[in-house]
Structure 1
Amino acid sequence: MSKFLTFNCNLENFIDDLQVKLRHNNEKIETLLEEENKTYYNFVKPLQMMEEELEHFFTPLSHLNSVNNSEKTQEVYTQAIPIITEYSTKISQNIAIYKAYKTIAENENATLNYEQKRVLELNIQHFELSGAHLDEQTKARLQEINIRKSELSNDFSQNILDATNAFEYTIENEADIEGIPASDLQSAKFEEDGKTKYKFTLQMPSYIAYMTYGKNRDIRQKLYEAYVSRAPQNAAIIDELLALRQEMSELLGFKNYAEYSLATKMAPTPDKALEFLESLLDNSIEQAKKELEELQESAPHQLESFDTAYYGEILKKAQYEIDEEEYRPYFEQKSVVNGMMDFLEKLFTIKFELQEETLWHEKAYAYHIYENEKLKAKIYFDLEARDSKRGGAWMSNWQAHCTNEAGEEQLASAFIVCNFPPSSDTNPSLLRHDDVVTLFHEMGHGIHHLLSNVNENEVSGVNGVEWDAVEFPSQFLENFAYEPHVLKMFAKHHETSEVLSDEMIEKLVRAKNFLSAMGMLRQLEFSIFDLQLHTKLYKGEEVQNLLNSIREKTALIPTPEYNKFQNGFSHIFAGGYAAGYYSYKWAEVLSADAFYAVVDEGIFESQTALKYRDIILHGGGAKSMQDLYIDLMGREADTTQLLRLNGIYA
């Protein structure tokens, strides 16, 4: 059973195959429920593995729809979502399964291990949060809500992708592209009617390039306005989603969706989470105002939202004598990936081995991971931007480490997806340092899932981890992308192999927290908006009015009226972060504290790093992260380390 799955997705027959699989699953559930003497091994374990195998089947479709989006993947995925949602909702509301889990938890409490107890605890909670104990009419309505929510989230994401791909701005005047890095110009350049022209889009590498280096302020404004006003039709989706979330929460006995969301998180209440965010805001606001004053001094006119990246780059160069473009030749994509693996091998005593295989795209590739010379997991990389790929960066898991009913081991697998500058035969993919940080971040998620030693798939790897703790391992790892010893492992000029100099590394480290308090305010704006948006029912203009009221404190530069940020806020309307965006900062407290413990011990000599592997990474979601963290550090997290990490001194 330790063999990895072969990536394959038959789009033509997918819906038929899915329906056959679900019909088989429903029959198996009925058979399992007929068992008179239900135990963990004859009831819970088979159900777990049945769901794991369904994940194996469905994940390739969702992955393809994100990385090789086409009319066909959209069509099949759109058909599949209500089918899989209806199935999942029915299971989550099946009172017979719920009662069986409760009975098994009571009868076998003395004999089950902590992993098995955690599976039962989380399942019972999940059943109750899904309304399994409610009347049939209420359960039917909850099922309708879940199906509609899934459809709306998919539509929200697709609208953004379509709007992103629909916009392009063509530049013919050479003066308007002066200062743009050569590698970005190479990607933008095309010939038309015998003329050389340059096309800029809302895809991240292209958009960031012009907003950061483009001298023409009018063009920056056009790009910015197009970006922040994408997908206006999503406003109606937001209204419907918020109404459905509020209705669902009330049906389940909660005042609002924020209370419902935090029932499965580390933060005890929405008020406590808001208190945490407000504390960070109070500690950051004065430094942010000083940063803005410095930024304003570098501009010959009053700053607007579409100016900050451009003048920020000018100020960074002036203050730190740092030019991001000077660094990119040292961050060639393949070199960075290989160097990151060398670092992980040394830090955690693991090993990566490249595999030769054909995947969903020619730029995708895979590695096996070994620990103690034993094959442990498989990781897939798809790192370059293209029109058919959803924007952003993410890790998604496919297989979880576990054992099946026969005690056979299944190994874990996961995908790391980014949108870095595309490479060609003549043009390598040269990364910004921010891209390097992003890669380390997603890899942190990846190894959290892949190095799990847990034998119950529902709490293995990232499964079962509280949502506001799931960013801890990713943020922990991304911090090392600034460490000099780590940078020297991969920051080598792609043409000369010259290692990034100590002077350049020192500048990079000093510039790390450039405008960090302003950045903190921006993230806090998103987090506070998300939490407050889900504390009562907002609709129509009330959504914008709420965001505007928060911006009165967080947005030091007035936000233009055409900025409809919420219509592109995929994390909370098309992802899993609704009433949970604060998790990034909550988890950052854990990551900053653990990171400094490793650094203070000398990184590669760190015993805390090995304990982190053995406790956090091996432990998966089989214990609360609160308990695992105390096992790691011998205490609760020191919240002041978060401000230290961001260079904020109140």
Structure 2
Amino acid sequence: MDRPLPFQEFPNMPLRELADTVRAEVSRIRGRLSDLLAQKSPRYETLVSPLNDLLQELHLDFTALSHLNSVKNDEESKKNYSDVLPIVTEFYSDLGQNEELYEAYTQIYEREKSALSQPRKKVLEDGILHFKLGGVGLPEDKKKRLQEIQLSLSDLDNRFSQNLLDATNEYELKVESEDDVREIPESDKELYRNSDGTYTFTLQYPSYISYMTYGSNREKRKDLYKAYVTRAPQNGNLIEEILALRDEEAKLLGYSDYAEYSLATKVAESPRKVLDFLEDLGKKSKPFAEREFRELSEFADTLGINDLQAFDMAYVSEKLKKRLFDFDEEETRPYLEKSRVVHGAFSFFRKLFGFDFERVETAVWDPKVEVYSLKVGSEIVARVYLDLEARKGKQGGAWMNHWATRNRLSEGIVLPSAFVVCNFPPSKEDSPSLLKHGDVVTFFHEMGHTLHHICAKVEEPPVSGINGVEWDAVEFPSQFLENFAYEPEVLRFFAVHYKTDREMPVSLVEKLKATKNFLAGLGVVRQLEFGIFDMRIHSGKHSEEEVQKILDEVRKEVGVLRLPAYNKFQNGFSHIFSGGYAAGYYSYKWAELLAADAFFSFLDKGIFDPGLAENYKREILEKGGSENAMALFRKFLGREPEPKALLKLYDLTV
């Protein structure tokens, strides 16, 4: 039946009730699983599909609970999420170790594979691999230990994230002198000015980066920087525990280390291949970064800063950009008002892909959250929630969280939905949210993930949308889309002055594009530091001191900026310690190669080439994780990816 079912509404109930609902669903699925496994000759239709439908129901409620813990964090959300997390973790661990279920999946695959659709085949193949990674076939004592490890890791990940959020919320920098904020744009000063005429800056990113970029008092920049890079020192001990448990988990499953275990579900063949890729890119990029740092240091001398430090980088870089390009990013902000950016981006997606976005009123978790239906023609195919402004109690950074996944039930089609979360400058009644261009890039990035999930036509949830996509390819659609945010043809859709309605002047658009790769070498080597560090620390278990030593070695090898000894970046590296990127941070660069190649293909043919856009929709967006990511890329462009595209993207070629 092709009738779309009504969208699930965001739950408007006490968190305790939502947590109780999750507990009840776990119990219900355990009971139903016994019934499903009692079948004498199970088939895909009678076992796999019903189980996946049940798991989707659990996913909806648990995602709502975990989402609220990230975007509306308080003592109640912490408690309810922390109480339920071990129950859900144990359930999935039990599921992954269920020998009977593994046998049933294997039998169904062997019996039905010639008749199964490609998505269903991929569901079973991925499922069988995950059973092996879950510990199927291990002796009972090792299974038990594996489950204990997974429960502990789940708790440690949550504590790592909560420590970071608490530390971010607790710190405030008071600035009393007007002279110390004289260079800060008036729009930002308005946001951080107190009623008594003083200013308060925090570690929430819009506030932090505002002072680091424009703050006139060098000592205060240093204080703010030090607070940022020394957040959550207790996470150092957690890292040691996390690495030890991950290493033990990998060895229990027969892998030499966690890096090798992590790559079992990725496109990359081995940790050595990944490190070769990153280290080679580092060798090619470092000379550019060194030259940029010399230029930056020489310019800093003219400002009276003769020992350029990490806490000077954003401030000096902004001034050098202004000198070289006669460009001040602040000039662009009146042209990048948040609502116009959102609706302009939607117009761009309409012209490129034929999508429409229509505002709807429905239940949300904060008054500033906006909800849109995605339409193709007159048909509603998905829903998107936008939570874009920073506020207290909200986790920093930006992400897309998929909620519902496209699925076919007997009563109709479940349509997909997703949450887009960013931390843009908060709007007030008398002042809108004016974005930096980097914020626009971030929004395009997260919408790339979102379109990948909600444009799915696959109706098998484990491989629909972003589900089932290899982790080192999942950033491809997001990085692909963000590149368009610099193009003059795209900027015209939204770069309009919020007061005068005048388009951004051509001269400013040209400067914006010209600055795209300003200090690109330094940016690339910084990302490579993170990726190499991530792979190396997952080569075994390491003490807190050894982790620091590895990081120092990587910085010396790849980086060019001298960082102070107190910089404990690793304690805030939530991507790999609480965000799913463990031994996988390299995927940003790995996927960026695909993204760059695809982007240049569009530029070469013209951004709005209908054939290329249709290919991208059909082979990448609509198929999601139903086939190997590299196979889909080859179908999309009809060839292998071009390795030179990545360096070309950053102008790091001679």
Q: Give the match for residue 164 of structure 1.
A: 168
CA contact (8 A) 1:454 1:622 kept: yes
Q: Which residue of 1 aligns with 2:341?
A: 336
Aligned pairs (5 A) from 1:315-394: 315-394=320-399
What CA deviation, in whole Å up to 9, does each residue of 1:265-323 have, x standing for no partner?
01110000000001110111111111111101111211111111100001000111110
Query: What amino acid is the match of 2:141?
Result: Q
Distance 2:540 2:166 in 1: 31
Distance 1:41 1:557 in 2: 57
Aligned counterpart, 1:233: 234
Counterpart of 1:49 in structure 2 is: 53
Using the alignment, how far apart are the partners of 2:14 and 2:627 within structure 1? 37
| 4+ residue segments displaced more than 4 Å | none
1:14: Cα distance to partner?
Answer: 3.0
Equivalent of 1:451, from 444, 450, 455? Answer: 455
Alignment of 1:390-409 (within 5 A): 390-404=395-409, 406=410, 408-409=412-413
Q: Is the 8 A contact 2:374 2:380 kept in 1?
A: yes
* 1:408 CA drift (Å): 2.5
User: Partner of 1:222 in structure 2?
Assistant: 223
Residue by residue, what CA displacement relative to the aligned partner does 1:436-459 show, whole Å, maximum 9, x if unpaired? 000000000000000000010110
Q: Encode CA deviations 1:187-222: one digit per residue, 9 max, x unaligned.
A: 11012xxx4100011110110001001111100000
Correspondence 1:245 to 2:249: no
Q: How does 1:146-165 map to 2 (within 5 A)?
A: 146-165=150-169
Give the stretch that moved more between structures: 412-421 or 592-601: 592-601
Q: How far, CA to CA, are the matches of 1:287 and 1:207 in structure 2?
A: 28
Separation of aligned partners in 2, 1:43 and 1:238: 39
Quick check: 1:277 aligned with 2:278?
yes
1:302 to 307, 321, 333: 307
Q: Please give the per-residue CA displacement for 1:328-386, whole angstroms capped at 9, x wherever unaligned.
A: 00000000000000000110011111002241100001000112421110000000000
Partner residue of 1:68? 72
Q: Matches of 1:584 and 1:266 in 2, distance apart? A: 13
Query: Which amino acid in the other structure matches residue 399 of structure 1?
Result: A
Query: Of residues 168, 177, 181 in structure 2, which corresponds to 1:177?
Result: 181
**Counterpart code for 1:205:** P
Deviation at residue 501 of structure 1 after TM alignment = 1.2
Question: Which residue identity does 1:202 align to in structure 2?
Answer: L
Superposed, 1:68-107 pairs within 5 Å as 68-107=72-111
For residues 502 and 66 of structure 1, the distance between their equivalents in structure 2, rounded to whole angstroms, comes to 40
Q: Which residue of structure 2 aligns with residue 6 of structure 1? A: 9
Pick aligned residue for 1:311 from 316, 323, 333: 316
Instruction: Report the equivalent of 1:202.
Output: 203
- Report the alpha carbon displacement of residue 502 of structure 1 after superposing the two structures with TM: 1.1
Contact 2:398 2:423 in 1 (8 A): yes
Instruction: Give the 3-state SS of the residue equivalent to 1:153 in structure 2.
Output: helix
Contact map agreement 1:168 1:201 (CA 8 A) in 2? yes
Question: Which residue type is aligned with residue 7 of structure 2?
Answer: F
SS of the residue aligned with 2:382? strand
Note if contact 1:118-1:623 (Cα within 8 Å) is conserved in structure 2: yes
Whole-Å separation in 2 of the counterparts to 1:117 and 1:214:
56
1:598–1:606 contact (8 Å) kept in structure 2: no
- Map of 2:260 onto structure 1: 259
RMSD across aligned C-alpha pairs, in angstroms? 0.9
Q: CA deviation at 1:255?
A: 0.4
14-23 or 488-497: bigger deviation:
14-23
Q: How much does 1:5 deviate?
A: 0.2
Q: Which amino acid aligns with 1:29?
A: L
Cα shift at 1:407: 7.0
Residue of structure 2 aligned with 1:524, choices 528, 548, 551: 528
SS of equivalent to 1:370: strand
- Counterpart contact for 1:179–1:215, Cα < 8 Å: yes
1:632 partner letter: F
Which letter does structure 2 place at the counterpart of 1:395? M
Q: Is 1:288–1:517's contact at 8 Å kept on the other side of the alignment?
A: yes
User: How much has 1:422 moved relative to structure 2?
Assistant: 0.4
Q: SS at 2:396's partner residue? A: coil
Unmatched segments (≥5 aa) in structure 1: none
Measured after TM superposition, the shift of residue 185 of structure 1 is: 0.7
TM-score by length of 2: 0.98
CA distance in 1, matches of 2:595, 2:121: 27
Correspondence for 2:28: 24
Per-residue deviation, residues 404-459 of structure 1 (Å, max 9, x unmatched): 2x273110000000000000110100000000000000000000000000010110
Q: Which amino acid aligns with 2:328?
A: D
Quote the Cα distance in structure 1 between the aligned partners of 2:355 and 2:199.
45
Following the alignment from structure 2 to structure 1, what is the Cα–Cα distance between the partners of residues 362 and 39?
44
Query: Match for 1:284: what amino acid?
Result: S
The CA deviation string for residues 380-402 of structure 1, in whole angstroms up to 9 with x for no partner, is 00000001100000000000112
Tell me the SS of whatever aligns to 1:200.
strand
Contact 1:86 1:147 (C-alpha < 8 Å) held by counterparts: yes
- CA shift, 1:606, in A, is 4.1
**2:562 & 2:376 partners in 1: Cα distance?**
52
Aligned match of 2:560:
556
Q: Could you report, residue by residue, the CA deviation over 1:53-106 in whole angstroms, capped at 9, with x for unpaired residues? A: 111111111111111111100000010110100111001110000000000000
Contact persistence 1:170–1:199 (CA under 8 A): yes
SS in 2 for 1:263: helix
Retained in 1: the 8 A contact 2:464–2:624?
yes
- Per-residue deviation at 1:555? 2.5
Matches within 5 A, 1:510-549: 510-549=514-553
> SS of the counterpart of 1:604?
coil
Task: Report the equivalent of 1:465.
Answer: 469
Q: Indicate if the aligned counterparts of 1:601 and 1:607 stay in contact, CA closer than 8 A.
A: no
Query: What percent identity do the matched residue pairs reach?
Result: 48
2:646 equivalent to 1:642: yes
How many correspondences in the alignment?
646
Which one of the candidate residues 467, 490, 500 is aligned to 1:486?
490
Deviations 1:578-627 (A, max 9, x none): 00000000000000000111111111134212210111000110001011
TM-score by length of 1: 0.98
Question: CA contact under 8 A between 1:475 and 1:591: conserved in structure 2?
Answer: yes
Between the aligned partners of 1:270 and 1:410, the Cα distance in structure 2 is 38
Q: Give secondary structure in 2 for the equivalent of 1:603.
A: coil
Partners in 1 of 2:193 and 2:105 — Cα distance?
A: 61
Note if 1:292 corresponds to 2:276.
no
Kindly indicate whether residue 134 of structure 2 is the aligned counterpart of residue 130 of structure 1. Answer: yes
Q: Is the 8 A contact 2:286 2:559 kept in 1?
A: no
Aligned to 1:199, the other structure's residue is in SS state strand
Q: Is the 8 A contact 2:10 2:363 kept in 1?
A: no
| Secondary structure of 2:291 counterpart | helix
Tell me if the contact between 1:354 and 1:367 (Cα under 8 Å) persists in the aligned partners.
Answer: yes
Asked whether the 8 Å contact 1:62–1:77 carries over to 2, the reply is: yes
Q: Is the 8 A contact 2:299 2:320 kept in 1?
A: yes
